[in-house]
Amino acid sequence: MRTTDSVTVTTVVAIDPATAFKVFTEETAVWWKPGPQSRFGGDLTGALRFEQGPGGLLLEVHDAGEPFEVGRVLVWEPPARLVFEWRLRSFLPGERTEVEVRFEEVPEGTRVTVEHRGWDSLRADHPARFGYTGLAFADIVGLWWADLLVSIKSRARSYNN
């Protein structure tokens, strides 16, 4: 039975784990795709930026106004693992989800696995659900992360050219 609390997506990129970790954490401006599902609120969409290390911030930075704190880095273990909080502008204080990213060496390069969890802690009518519930919502989140992993995979190709 599928759960609606977490979504896991995976891809393989043709670069080593250290480079894949760097692409994920230092090149978000290249692979991050703001859009309706990723909007943090209002008309503001910007670039994501990680501050390195445990306790570092994940910020949405845009031209107008102050940066928005999406979350904090909970685990920073280059080149193998990254865990960070994830929240949208519509989250109340104390509401958050969590994203774990694992980088595993495989013969073809690196398997990148993203697990976004904690969704069941948000009420069914929470604005972050965009009107979706249950497995439909889990599918939307999975497709969104899958699209972002395609962007990371495309970025990784530039290291091999």
Provide the number of structural domains found in the chain. Answer: 1
Instruction: State pLDDT tens for residues 53-101.
Output: 999 999 988 777 788 899 999 999 999 999 999 998 889 999 999 999 9
Q: Is residue 1 part of a domain?
A: no
Q: Is residue 50 part of a domain?
A: yes
Q: Is residue 80 part of a domain?
A: yes
User: What pTM was computed for the model?
Assistant: 0.89
Q: Does residue 74 contact residue 85 with C-beta atoms inside 8 Å?
A: yes
Q: Is residue 57 part of a domain?
A: yes
Give the domain CATH number at 147: 3.30.530.20
DSSP track, the chain: ---SSEEEEEEEESS-HHHHHHHHHH-HHHH----TTT--STT---EEEEPSSTT-EEEEE-SSS--EEEEEEEEEETTTEEEEEE--TTPPTT--EEEEEEEEEETTEEEEEEEEE-GGGS-TT-GGGTT--HHHHHHHHHHHHHHHHHHHHHHHHGGG-
Instruction: State pLDDT tens for residues 118-160.
Output: 988 888 888 888 888 888 888 888 998 999 999 999 999 998 7
Q: Is residue 122 part of a domain?
A: yes
